[in-house]
Amino acid sequence: MKLVRYGEKGQEKPGILDMNDGVRSLEGIVEDINGESLSEEVLSKLAALDVQTLPKVDDARLGPCVGGIGKILCIGLNYSDHAAEAGMDVPSEPVLFTKATSAINGPNDDVLLPRGSVKTDWECELAVVIGKEAKYVDEEDALDYVAGYCILNDLSERAYQLESTGQWVKGKSCDTFAPIGPWLVTKDEIADPQDLSMWLEVNGVRYQEGTTETMVFGVKHLVSYLSRYMSLQPGDVISTGTPPGVGMGQDPQVYLKAGDVMSLGIQGLGVQEQKVIVE
């Protein structure tokens, strides 16, 4: 299934894609696409629906594909070739940081350059959405705790992230810096999360092109690893890192400016598009 949330910001409603990728309403069936509706029981109920009989939704904005996210956990330097372009060593264990949930944005909403920004960058990433509480999970069982997958653009202000004191989080958490969606694709549709192609373009120029096969730490390992240190709750999101081709890695470096348009996609998970504007 491909689950969506549609409507105006802060008033999104639950939906599902039909066989033609049209949006159908799930109002009256579930309250939202969130932690509560990502249980195996509810997902089985949704899978049994005759989607083609549900009400059509036309020309609606797509919001973040998961609502009520408790935490966004991100993995840094998780592609060896991206670590190389960043001039950093491949980590011996996952590098963890967070993005504030106030950064969450719709997949096609405008991205705001924060005041004083000089180095805002892009990162196409596979995001993993947790479906049930995970705590001290064995790696071989890790996918049992996953509800599905989506795209997350891990936007980053590199000067805030790397050139001043403190942790990465302040360069990662500016408003609109976490576009999520367009769809939450349930795990039954993704045969292998380590075999997905991915790409990102700015103004029609392709900068990122890679595959999840080259992750240093795969999805199973990340779910297991994180569950050792904190419980993962239904609706939590793990953003798993980006392949090479970020603006910081270009020679000369390239950063986003007002009017730029980003397009990015992951095999089977749809496409995002965002225009960059100034606050």
pLDDT tens digit sequence for 265-275: 999 999 999 99
pLDDT band at 81 (very low <50, low <70, confident <90, very high): confident
Where b means 16+ CB within 10 Å and e means fewer, 188-204 reads eebeebeebebbbbbee
pLDDT tens column, 208-262: 999 999 999 999 999 999 999 999 999 999 999 999 999 999 999 999 999 999 9
46 is a domain residue: yes
263 is a domain residue: yes
Domain that holds residue 31: 2-57
192 and 125: one domain?
Answer: yes
Backbone angles phi, psi at 212, to 5 degrees: -65, -10
Mean pLDDT of the chain, nearest integer: 96
One-letter identity of residue 260 = D
Distance, in Å, from the CA atom of 197 to the CA atom of 5, rounded to the nearest integer, reads: 24
Where b means 16+ CB within 10 Å and e means fewer, 134-169 reads beebeeeebbebbbbbbbbbbbbbbbbbeeeeeebe
DSSP character string of 103-155 = GEE-TTSPEEEPTT-S-EE--EEEEEEE-S-BSS--GGGGGGGEEEEEEEE--
Tokens of 107: 């997949």
pLDDT at 217: 97
pLDDT at 166: 79
67 is a domain residue: no
For residues 137-143, average pLDDT: 98
Count the domains in the chain.
2
pLDDT band at 87 (very low <50, low <70, confident <90, very high): confident
One-letter identity of residue 130 = I
Distance, in Å, from the CA atom of 248 to the CA atom of 75, rounded to the nearest integer, reads: 17
21 and 81: one domain?
Answer: no
140 and 242: one domain?
Answer: yes
146 and 44: one domain?
Answer: no
For residues 153-162, average pLDDT: 95
Q: Where does 199-251 have alpha helices with state H?
A: 219-229
Tokens of 195: 């075999």
Task: Kindly tell me the sign of the dihedral angle through the C-alpha atoms of 232, 237, 1, 197.
Answer: negative
62 is a domain residue: no
7 and 115: one domain?
Answer: no
20 and 86: one domain?
Answer: no
CA dist 14 → 1, 45, 72, 103, 273 (Å):
13, 14, 21, 21, 21
Strands 237-239 and 72-76: parallel
66 is a domain residue: no
Collapsing DSSP states into helix, strand and coil, what is residue 252? coil
